Amino acid sequence: MEHFIIIARITRVRMKAMKITATALLAIALVLVLLVAGCTQSSSSLSTAPATSASTPNGTVGILETAGVGPMPPLLATNQVDGYIAWQPVVEAGMESNIGQIAVYSKDLPPAGEWSNHPQNVFVVRKDFYAQNPDFVNDFSALNLAATQYINDHPQESAGIAADWLAGKQNFTYGNVSVSSVTVVSNALPTIEFTNDPSDSWKASTADFVQALEDTGTVKGFVANSSDPNAVLYNFQPYQSAQAIIEAKNMTTPAPLQNTVSVGYLMALDHSALFVAVKDWQYFNDTYGIALKPEDLTAAKPSVADFLVNGQKVATVNLVPANAGPNLMQLAATNSIQMSYVGVPPAISAIDIGTPITIAYPIDNLGSGLVVTKGAPVTDWQSFAAWAKQRSDEGKPLVIAAPGKGSIQDVMLRYALQSSGIAVTDVKV
């Protein structure tokens, strides 16, 4: 019955007391199309018992998997969901637009202390591509390290670049709500820790994700059965080589690649290392002798760039966006992309099923959050859990949007709910 209630709630657009323009209605229609394309088909492994008050005394939460994070603010603005868990800048956009409020940042999700400085995104490389082109991958990695340092040294400039890439420096618009992309990105950037150091604490926190994936039944192959998961997951040689290149300030020009290289990424603030490397290519060219020069210098979001080392073109690079991490890993599995910025859980899951990639180094930590509808009785996870129970007891279980099954946000939310004894159902439309 609760499955029916959740589905009924999500398909009923509650427009009372809302002034919706024709543009807003069009946006909502587009959202619904995206949802049909992106919803999951199977029930969550965290919800093995029927969602009844007897079997789930702490309540039930429905998770609606969307096609990326773009549909989330319109869904929240039109009361079709009660909240969403997303990456930046969509977390900040929900608050800046006044359609939502922060319930909890990912670092404070349960179990207590588990995710205090959790990994967020990593850089992955196909093993065969690295074996054939180690110098290229090492030089590209040196650019990533230099771009990370740029973000930390120049946060305001980086915010402007990211806002340009993500929105052409125009407003983020969700239905009839519009907010400044520059303001949103500037406020969101400090919630992310940009780092490339695969430290012992970083590896330990990544191991927590492996455990979470095992506990939820997502990982059960190579990684789960390995006596040395680190050997299965990582190859830090590109990071170590990149460090040496940066420190020596000596770029060796590799032989030009005959084939175009494709690099995957998300329209997420986490992947700003790519954005600043491309948009401020002249700085990196002049400072390090390495650059990703966009072929179209006028494009807000370039799709093709020339990889330059010491002023010489080494490769043509296609920049390939996707809706969520699992989509990127599908592209990696088919060799449609050779390298990618991607969330930790999708990378682990892909390796677990035999996708021939390796994690080369971190890209960033933190940077996700759970946003709930404005005015909800929620200030932290404990009050969110109490709200979830209250709504379940009333026969109106909460519905929370997440960006795709197996994404970092999806995994963290499901694990947090499980840790709090809250049952999960997958909402289908």
Separation of alpha carbons 39 and 186, rounded Å: 31
Amino acid 251: pLDDT: 84
Separation of alpha carbons 164 and 181, rounded Å: 8
Which of 408, 380, 364 lies closest to 189, judged by CA? 364
Amino acid 252: pLDDT: 86
What is the CB neighbour count within 10 angstroms for residue 234?
18
Amino acid 73: pLDDT: 93
Amino acid 259: pLDDT: 96
Each residue's pLDDT tens digit in the chain (429 positions)? Answer: 333 333 333 333 333 333 333 333 333 333 333 333 333 333 333 332 333 334 568 999 999 999 889 899 999 999 999 999 999 999 999 999 999 999 999 999 999 988 999 999 999 999 999 999 999 999 999 999 999 999 999 999 999 999 999 999 899 886 667 899 999 999 999 999 999 999 999 999 999 999 889 888 888 988 878 889 899 999 999 999 999 999 988 888 999 999 999 999 999 999 999 999 999 999 999 999 999 999 999 999 999 999 999 999 999 999 999 999 999 999 999 999 999 999 999 999 999 999 999 999 999 999 999 999 999 999 999 999 999 999 999 999 999 999 988 899 999 999 999 999 999 999 986
Amino acid 76: pLDDT: 95
Alpha carbon separation from 117 to 153, 215, 309 (Å, rounded): 20, 20, 34
Sign of the torsion formed by the C-alpha atoms of 326, 330, 336 and 340: positive
Alpha carbon separation from 271 to 58, 167, 325, 356 (Å, rounded): 37, 14, 12, 22
- With vertex at residue 399, the alpha carbon angle to CA 46 and CA 110, rounded to the nearest 5 degrees, is 50
Amino acid 429: pLDDT: 65
Q: Distance between alpha carbon 347 and the CA centroid of its chain, in Å?
A: 12
Separation of alpha carbons 329 and 339, rounded Å: 10
Return the amino acid letter for 279.
K
| Domain 119-167+220-366 grouped into CATH 3.30.110 | no
How do 119-126 and 423-427 pair as beta strands?
unpaired
Peptide bond into 111 cis (omega under 30): yes
Q: For the chain, give every residue range classified as CATH 3.10.105.
A: 119-167+220-366
**Which two three-digit tokens encode residue 348?**
């682990």
Residues for the chain: how many in total?
429
Separation of alpha carbons 375 and 3, rounded Å: 25
Which of 139, 102, 366, 219 lies closest to 147, judged by CA? 139
**Which two three-digit tokens encode residue 234?**
């990582």
Amino acid 29: pLDDT: 35
Which of 321, 292, 315 lies closest to 150, judged by CA? 292
CB 135 within 8 A of CB 261: no
**Which two three-digit tokens encode residue 118?**
């959790």
| Ordered alpha helix ranges (H), 265-367 | 272-279, 281-288, 325-333, 344-352
Amino acid 55: pLDDT: 54
